[in-house]
Amino acid sequence: MTDFQARRAGIRFKMNAQDKTKLAHTLNGSGVAVGRTVAAILENYQNPDGSVTVPEALRPYMGCDVIK
């Protein structure tokens, strides 16, 4: 495990409000093949106009319904 991917992606955490922010340690994309996951979402949710409908489970994290 390293913090390389976390540094590149800016993935940080705090154990509690008083702690300093720390970089997370990831293992190969934290459990998913990121490239394949993005490709699967694009394949299954791309609209004829080129936009991508964000899957409902990801909307709280994305803050939008469609990527244009």
> pLDDT of the chain along its 68 residues, tens only?
667 777 888 888 888 889 999 988 777 655 667 778 889 999 999 999 999 999 999 999 899 999 99
Residue spans per domain, the chain: 4-67
C-alpha Rg value of the chain to the nearest Å:
15
What is the reported pTM?
Answer: 0.54
What CA–CA distances, in Å, run from 30 to 14, 19, 27, 46? 18, 23, 5, 25
- How many angstroms separate the CA atoms of 7 and 49, rounded? 34
